[in-house]
Amino acid sequence: MTEQSTRQVLQGNEAIVEGALAAGCRFFAGYPITPASEIAELMSLRLPAVGGTFIQMEDEIASMGAVIGASLAGVKSLTATSGPGFSLMQENLGYACVTEVPCVIVSVMRGGPSTGLPTSPAQGDVMQARWGTHGDHPIIVLSVSSVSDCFDITVQAFNFSEKYRVPVIILSDEIVAHTREAVTLPSVQKIEVFERIRPSVPPEWYIPYEDNSRGVPAMAVMGDGYRHHVTGLIHDTKGFPTDRSEEVNAFQRRQFRKITNGFYEILMTKSFMMEDAEIAVIAYGSVSRSAQHAIIAAREKGVKAGLLHLITLFPFPKKDVDPVLRQCRSVLVPEMNMGQISREVKRVNLTSKVVAINRVDGQFITPTEIYNKLLSM
């Protein structure tokens, strides 16, 4: 990140570091895991040079705790992991949800379950990202499909996290993480960075979880004079534990409302050759790159195919999927799992024809595989 835009060859994991630093991230806590370790390694090199803090914790549970602690003290924080470590982070991820502490978690997906296929690509953690922590909770899950995405989406993830006071998960995969591509990193001035809204009232008037039109309370930082209580228990607007059903209900509903309020900007998708498409591919992550190639090839054979590339996975971008299902006679969802997103697509309209390509053998879904399927549809 410099005064001028720069052209660099980076791998996905490195671009995530650049994006995080550009977004103002100054704290990283993590634990080594393939295929995410490069993020921690580069952070350990880069953060101290900008006055930031890198710490390798004793496990992923601790990493997530430290990330939340740092954010409570006012520093934008990141952690990065893969499936097994992501499972360990789920406990404190729920804490970040209930206390509304901004933070960003990168999960570079590899084959699972358990130790699985540590060096192979997969997209098996989609539902873990959405529902991995217990209890009803809102969350934002974004996917990355290229090295330039890794930069842009990471900046976006921090902005959403700060703006909505919600943990944001970036789902990468082993292919995106380790692919090297030439990218143009924008200059500092071109990068839009959002900072959390801090209280403007005097400390004695501050109500830490007071509702407002956005549903996002102003967030005080520890040490700035707004002493208050933060707890994983369901709390009233003052932050104190409550089990009064009307207060519990108000809290839970607001948590969801603050995210629905932001749908216009949170739900991000990209359309490719969709104008006259009769068959659509709905894809995300590295697979969307294969889909794009397959669509170009299929068009040459006269098949009117198009792509809806999902960037936001959760909240599920129903508003963009629905018109595609209405427009096309059938929809293909290729993914490196047994159908975690294709089921979401089906849920949007149960009468539409949704075909899936599912790979769970540690292999990438190639353009040829999608192309052959498109020609047979």
Partner 1 sequence: MPEKVERLRHDYLRHDKKFPHVWCPGCGNGIVLGSLIRAIDALKLEKDELVLASGIGCSGRMPVYVDLNTLHTTHGRALTFATGIKLANPSLTVLTVMGDGDATAIGGNHFIHAARRNLDLTAIIINNQIYGMTGGQYSPTTPYGSRAATAAYGHIEHAFSIAELAVTAGASFVARGTVYHAKLLDKLIAKGISKKGFSVIEIISNCHTQYGRRNKMGDPVTMMQEFKDRAVTVEKAAKLSPEELADRITIGVLTDIDKPNYTEELQKIRDIAEKNR
153-161, 235-243, 274-282, 353-361 -> range binding partner 1 (CB under 8 A)? 235-243
Q: Kindly identify the residues of this chain, within the stretch 89-108, that bind partner 1 according to CB under 8 A.
A: 91-92, 95
Amino acid at 34: T
Interface with partner 1 includes 255 (CB under 8 A)?
A: no
Number of residues that bind partner 1 (CB under 8 A): 44
Q: What single string gives the DSSP state of each residue in 36-68?
A: THHHHHHHHHHTGGGT-EEEE-SSHHHHHHHHH
C-alpha distance from residue 33 to each of 46, 59, 76, 175, 374 (Å) = 19, 10, 22, 15, 37
Q: Which is nearer to partner 1, 61 or 268 (CB)?
A: 61
CA distance 197 to 205: 16
Q: Please give the angle made by the CA atoms of 257, 69 and 268, to the nearest 5 degrees.
A: 40
49-57, 307-315, 316-324, 369-377 -> range binding partner 1 (CB under 8 A)? 49-57
Residue from 1, 197, 222, 268 that binds partner 1 (CB under 8 A)? 222
Interface with partner 1 includes 225 (CB under 8 A)?
A: yes
Q: Which is nearer to partner 1, 78 or 311 (CB)?
A: 78
Interface with partner 1 includes 32 (CB under 8 A)?
A: no
Look up tokens 């496990």; give the residue: 59
CB of 222 to partner 1, least distance (A): 5
Q: Which is nearer to partner 1, 47 or 331 (CB)?
A: 47
Length of the chain: 377
135-143, 211-219, 227-235, 290-298 -> range binding partner 1 (CB under 8 A)? 227-235
CA distance 31 to 333: 33
For residue 174, which of 236, 244, 106, 235 has the smallest C-alpha distance? 106
For residue 36, which of 112, 119, 100 has the smallest C-alpha distance? 119
Tokens found for residue 81:
């992991």
Binding site for partner 1 (CB under 8 A): 27, 29, 45, 48-49, 51, 53, 55, 57-59, 61-75, 77, 91-92, 95, 222-225, 227-233, 238, 240-241
